Amino acid sequence: MSLRLLLLPFSLLYNSGVILRNWFFDIGLLPIRKALVPVISVGNISAGGVGKTPLVEFLARKLGTNNKVAVISRGYGRKSKGYLVASNGRQRCAEAWKAGDEASQLAEKLDGTVVLVDEKRTRAADHAVRDFQASVLLLDDGFQHRYLHRDLNIVVLGLEDLVKRDFPLPAGNRRETLSALQRADVIGISRCENKEGYEKARTILLRIIDKPMFAFRTRVKAIRSGVTKKEVKVERRKPIAFSGIGEPSAFSETLKSIGIRVVDHVVFRDHHWYSASDIDRIQNLFRSHQSDAILTTEKDISRLSGDNTFGQKFLEEYPVYYVEIEPEIISGNEVLEEKLKSVVHAYRHN
């Protein structure tokens, strides 16, 4: 029996607390504030990576063509508290250790988009509108943060979330049960490699809830140098990999999808901040395998080039590359487009 199953009594308590908290919001005992501009939330019901942040980046670019977009993140795993500007829309304003790896990644990549970090999303929303004249707010990982009213609730489910049984935290990885999907306006199913996989997932999901859906997968956009950030061609025979993300197996599958099979993969916990001993471990593995490349993710690169000199030295002295990914909508694009347009259009005509 898995040791996590011994935690089932605590999962029952946790889930009871989640249900009670949501009920308090539903009946008005806990306040929900409405922003002056449309709020679009991208979240999920499970701990771990399902492709939320790449989707937020995708949506920010799409909405940013006609709107002033501000992304609001909690900044999970950061070494700071309170309100922080990660990007003012023109330049990055905070290191990853202050803003968190995901917010830092978005700040680095999204020109013209403001990126704000605050555990109090309502406060960040006020700053976004008042200080940066944002016309659309995007909440990264905002499904459970109900204090700020959202005009569009997008919930991302990994394909595996629908085909395997899971328990609430801490025995399992569920933040909320599938019944929480009633609060969603549209459901995005990630890691669908083809339309057949999406239709299978859609059929399963329709037995539980009838909501508009779309499907997407992540694809490799480029492989870049960890130092210069320039795109490179990596044609190596014996690469190793390391990652500290929610689903490290997904990173391995991403590499396989472009024909790269690593000889070893060092896995750290999600949002892991690297120490000198961690770097030594990776370097020793590189030497023991007589490898010729080290591959990692965008989030991991942002955590390495922060406030530590050993991380930057590692990037400069070793052939470290990161894989840049982007989402590709494979079904239901018209559903997503219509939802986005209706939300923004409603505010413009009020």
**Residues 154/185, Cβ–Cβ less than 8 Å:** yes
Specify the CATH superfamily of domain 3-217+328-348: P-loop containing nucleotide triphosphate hydrolases (3.40.50.300)
State the chain's mean pLDDT as an integer.
Answer: 92
Is cis: bond before 31, omega within 30 of 0? no
Q: What is the pLDDT, as a whole number, of residue 350?
A: 61
CATH topology of 3-217+328-348 equal to that of 219-326? yes
Tens of pLDDT, residue by residue over 201-216, are 888 889 889 999 999 9
What's the CATH code, domain 219-326?
Answer: 3.40.50
Q: What is the pLDDT, as a whole number, of residue 6?
A: 84
Q: What distance in Å separates the CA atoms of residue 101 and residue 244, rounded to the nearest whole number?
A: 11
Q: What is the residue extent of each domain of the chain?
A: 3-217+328-348, 219-326
Q: What is the pLDDT, as a whole number, of residue 306?
A: 60
Task: Give the helix ranges, DSSP H, for the chain.
Answer: 8-27, 52-63, 96-99, 101-109, 121-132, 159-163, 195-206, 248-257, 276-288, 298-304, 309-317, 333-348
Sign of CA dihedral 194, 197, 201, 202: positive
Q: Which band of pLDDT confidence, cut at 50, 70 and 90, is reported for residue 296? A: very high
Tens of pLDDT, residue by residue over 308-327, are 678 889 999 999 999 999 99
Q: How far apart are the first and last CA of the chain?
A: 57
For residue 121, pLDDT over 50 is answered with: yes
Q: What is the CA radius of gyration of the chain?
A: 20
Mean pLDDT on 110-119: 97
For residue 1, pLDDT over 60 is answered with: no
Q: What is the pLDDT, as a whole number, of residue 307?
A: 58
CB proximity list for 275: less than 8 A, separation 6 or greater = none
Residue 115: what residue type?
Answer: V
Tens of pLDDT, residue by residue over 167-214, are 899 998 899 999 999 999 999 999 888 888 888 888 888 988 999 999
Mean pLDDT on 99-125: 96
> What is the DSSP secondary structure assignment for residue 148, as one 8-state letter?
B
**Residues 329/55, Cβ–Cβ less than 8 Å:** no
Q: What distance in Å separates the CA atoms of residue 87 and residue 263, rounded to the nearest whole number?
A: 37
C-alpha distances in angstroms, 315 versus 143, 243, 289, 304? 35, 15, 19, 8
DSSP labels, 205-227: HHTT----EEEEEEEEEEEEETT
**Residues 127/115, Cβ–Cβ less than 8 Å:** no
For tokens 């990853």, the residue is: 96
